[in-house]
Amino acid sequence: MFGFGTAKNTIGIIKAAYVWECQMRSLQVGDLVASFTPSFPITARQPARYQRAIEFIGRQGLRFLPGHLTGKDDHYRSGSARERAEELNALLRNPEVRCVMSTIGGSNSNALLPYLDYEAFRRDPKIVVGYSDSTAILLALYAMTGVPTFYGPALVASLGEFPPLVDEIWRYFAAIAMENPAYPLTLPKPTHWTEERLPWESQDRAKTMQANQWRCIQPGRAEGRLIGGNLNTLYGFLASPYFPAIQPGDILLLEDSLKDAATVEKNFAMLKLAGVFDQAGAVLLGKHEGFDDCGSKRTPADILLEVLDGLDVPILADFDCCHTHPMLTLPLGVRVRVDTQALRVELLEDWRELV
């Protein structure tokens, strides 16, 4: 079986010890939230939405610190790989910062991985949250330190949204990152969702929503560690030292946006060839925003079933931890329980107790 993140992992000496010098804690009113831009220069391209997002953060009683690449635009990115890594490293090393949130994804966050200060994150664990292309950073930080990271809202993409969706997105994030619920914790299924795309700089209304449902594609129950994120991002660092070693029974979170059927098939096949699905206890397949079926009438779930070719792994589809709104927040690295027939997902352990 293919072991990710294990071969030639000279950097893995950091994660071997898993000794933390500070206790990771919940985000609290009055805390400092910082942003970083690991790939696409969204703060330069969409200043109105960015401003709306930081005003929303302030209304939650939190202070805000922009990363030093805010407003920078190097064509397809906010800066060089080293510059982007240093922006994040400065925030990881800042003891006053208690939450670091990506502004958006992009296409090349994986370029930062050799330059990140994993030791600083290990010494002072803090909430690091984002989604999409930020998957590379979230999983690398977890793989190298054992500290859970959070697949959840991005500053501009999520918190720049209009009410009522922005309030619902924040409520799901706060329930995990700021409150202290009892565990096991059953994740709520939003009553509605949207993938409507409106021009961000000229948007002047809330998005149109539709009734929500999750779907059981293959029945079953499973318990295991939650790992995953954006499907298209995974191929950029799969089998590197920065990808968490896949364990038997892992629950895979997979989601994507604006891809076509050919790309989705390629990426599912990539995971199959690497032995990931053979290890999986279950798959949480997120809604695919703006999916192009290439005229095939196939859904991402249909393509996944074909790639699995009879492998009997439980699959829950149209899950709401993805690019569509509203988005649930999930801590990566914690144990979860999935019952696909009951359409139920539970967090089994408190992320605070793992650090």
- Strand (E) or helix (H) holding 32: strand 32-36
Which positions ≥6 away from 289 have C-beta within 8 Å? 195, 256, 257, 258, 322, 323, 324
User: The tokens 């950073």 sit on which residue?
Assistant: 137
- Cα distance between residue 281 and residue 338, in whole Å: 9
- Mark whether 323 is an active-site residue: yes
Q: Which of 86, 87, 255, 289 is catalytic?
A: 255
Q: What phi and psi values does residue 133 have, to the nearest 5 degrees? A: -65, -20
Q: Which of 78, 195, 288, 323 is catalytic?
A: 323
Q: What is the DSSP string of 226-244?
A: EEEEEHHHHTTTTTSTTSP
- Strand (E) or helix (H) holding 127: strand 127-130
- Cα distance between residue 55 and residue 163, in whole Å: 13
* 149-151 and 330-332 strand pairing: antiparallel
Q: Residue 181's Cα: distance from chain center in Å?
A: 21
The two tokens of residue 80 are 């060089």
Give the closest residue to 314 by CA, choosing from 238, 214, 233, 195: 214
Give the closest residue to 34 by CA, choosing from 133, 122, 101: 101
- Mark whether 255 is an active-site residue: yes
- Cα distance between residue 148 and residue 191, in whole Å: 28
Q: Which of 39, 78, 102, 132 is catalytic?
A: 132
- Mark whether 179 is an active-site residue: no
> Which residues are the active-site residues?
132, 255, 323
